[in-house]
Amino acid sequence: MPGTHASDSLYHRLFAHPEMVADLLRGFLDPAMLAELDLDHLRRHNTKFTSRKGERRRSDVVWEIPTRNGDTLFVLLLLEFQSEVVEWMALRVDVYTGLLYQQLVHERKLKESDGLPPVLPIVLFNGEPRWNAATSLRSLIRLPAASSLWQFQPEMRYHVLDEGAYPREMLEKSPYVTAILFRMEHPVDPEAMVRAARDVSEWFTRHPDGPPVKQLFLELIQAGLARLKVNPLPTIPDDLQEVVIMLTARVEKWAKDYEQRGMQKGEQQGQAKLLLNLLQERFGMIPEAIQKQVTTAGLEEIDAWARRLFKADSLQAVFR
């Protein structure tokens, strides 16, 4: 199922840079975990994970990070762009972790005495609604709580970074560029998108030696404005400062248009709900297909159906 936000290709290009991965971890991992990691020496690990169709999963990347005690941690970063939550993610993480361990044993000729390096699986989710899938494999296993079989069941957990779940105020105060990325992926209105564009421009001004991803943030701005349905959709200049100047000049009109669309949407939702209530009172249970037709219709269609309702002798006559 396609994602609702930036494409997996764009995210894959963003997080192909160690600076972006380090920024993400510094901004959204627990400080106690960060204290164990040497994020200045991340190294990309070449994985061989494949999908069910035999295709390599471009949206899953693995980074090898030295720890402060001289060991190595493998961060398994799964980038999810689906519009629905993946209920079996804990199982997928368990399978990918096993594949990673098999690859390490084979390529590095690990012996049993060497042991296995620790793994930190992170799911980065930019869809809707909020992530609510089980984060533990054991919670998916059906066994009575008192069963003696629990000692033989696998255990796997993953950490979720749900972009849309972070409070906007927290993201706006964050010094990390990935926090601005999260804001661009979930803009509440055109003004929020302009503020995010201004902040990312200032961030790159303060970090002239930062990761070479300015062009990718320009693509994020373009995608964010398209989701907000600004009209007309502008052509984004190649310079971030020019982008900010252009957006600032247009934001007032966009904000008014956005507010007007919100009022129209609210009126449409109210009229659709009223019509469905009247239909149910007249004809009983309304089929799901009809409910969807009404809730996605325009005001003119809803008005036409409402006028037919009082003369129609069947549900089919209303929607003839």
Q: What is the tens place of the pLDDT at every residue in 123-150?
A: 999 888 899 999 999 999 999 999 999 9
CA 287 centroid distance within chain: 32
pLDDT per position as a tens digit, 220-263: 999 888 888 887 888 888 999 999 998 888 887 876 766 666 66
Query: Is-contact 238 228, C-beta < 8 A?
Result: no
Distance CA 180, CA 79 (A): 17
- Paired with 221 in beta bridges are none
- Residue with the two structure tokens 């190595």: 72
For residue 258, the model assigns a pLDDT of: 60
CA distance 55 to 298: 41
Whether 226 contacts 292, CB under 8 Å? no
Question: Which residues are 44's β-sheet partners?
Answer: 63
**Dihedral Cα 12, 120, 62, 23, nearest 10 deg:** 50
Q: Write down the pLDDT at residue 4.
A: 44
Is the bond into 129 cis (omega within 30 degrees of 0)? yes
pLDDT score at 2: 38
CA 255/CA 189 separation, integer angstroms: 7
Residues of the chain with pLDDT under 50: 1-4
